[in-house]
Amino acid sequence: MPEIRNSVAPGRLLKRKFFARSVHDVASDLIGATLLFNGVGGIIVEIEAYHHTEPAAHSYNGPTPRNQVMFGPPGYLYVYRSYGIHWCMNFVCEAEGSASAILIRALEPTHGIALMRRRRMLHDERSLCSGPGKICAALGVTRDHNGLALDHAPIEIHARREVPQIVRDVRIGITKAADLPWRLGLKGSKFISKPFRNGA
DNA sequence: CTCTTGATCTTCT
DNA sequence: GAAGATCAAGAGC
């Protein structure tokens, strides 16, 4: 059984339908939700939205073998290789063919912390999941999990119970469409990958 | 704290 | 053949 340290109990399980609307609406509602993979994970405190109409998205130039999951129906997991080393995970949103997705950038660890520490070979809780590559390493997500449904095992996403305060900034690590303020964070969280300019 | 650099490989041109 | 939705370590302040 995973250890549970957070005093705030997660809410109801999200179904795939939750993701079948504007990627920006989904993003706002995901901050504060709890993501678990095989019972390991935590509270989503930082995400970025990508849409096929802007050049930073992997889907901008149309379907390819890599991004085919993005072009499928909403509510599925899109995993890609980053810089030849890391895995990064996304939630596909909107509608089939829309090819929009949300990059999961940081979690506040709450479930299975001992296992995450072992996988990351790192004790510091604040750094366990403070980046998209770190999350996949801590949760054990790889290319094998590309295309999994977000509302079936081994994935669980619990709705948040209260509406949090959200901060917003430009996205990290991109050169195209770098001015779009599509990075969202939980205000005041110490578990984000990088500070927000307007105070997180 | 910030800045720089190396690691490593898939993808698409 | 070049670029890339990253990370960790090291140098400098």
Residue ranges of the domains in chain A?
Answer: 16-186
Question: Average model confidence (pLDDT) for chain A?
Answer: 93
Q: Does at least one atom of strand C sit less than 7 Å from the CB of A74?
A: no
Measured between its terminal Cα atoms, the distance across chain A in Å is 33
Asked if A130 and A193 count as a contact pair (C-beta separation under 8 A), the reply is yes
* pLDDT score, position A9: 57
* pLDDT score, position A200: 58
* pLDDT score, position A11: 76
Return positions of chain B under 7 A from a protein CB.
Answer: 7-13
Q: In whole angstroms, give the CA distance from residue A173 to residue A186.
A: 19
Mean pLDDT of A183-188: 95
CA of A64 to C1' of C6 (A): 22
Residues within a 7 A CB radius of strand B: A 61, 64-67, 81, 83-85
Judge whether residue A7 has pLDDT over 50: no
Q: Does at least one atom of strand C sit less than 7 Å from the CB of A88?
A: yes
Return positions of chain C under 7 A from a protein CB.
Answer: 4-8
At A123, phi and psi to the nearest 5?
Answer: -90, -35
3-class secondary structure per residue, chain A:
CCCECCCCCCCCECCHHHHCCCHHHHHHHHCCCEEEECCEEEEEEEEEEECCCCCCCCCCCCCCCCCCCCCCCCCEEEEEEECCCEEEEEEEECCCCCCEEEEEEEEEEEECHHHHHHHHCCCCHHHCCCCHHHHHHHHCCCHHHCCCECCCCCEEEECCCCCCCEEEECCCCCCCCCCCCCEEEECCCCCCCCCCCCCC
Topology given in CATH for the domain delimited by A16-186: 3-methyladenine DNA Glycosylase; Chain A (3.10.300)
Judge whether residue A21 has pLDDT over 60: yes
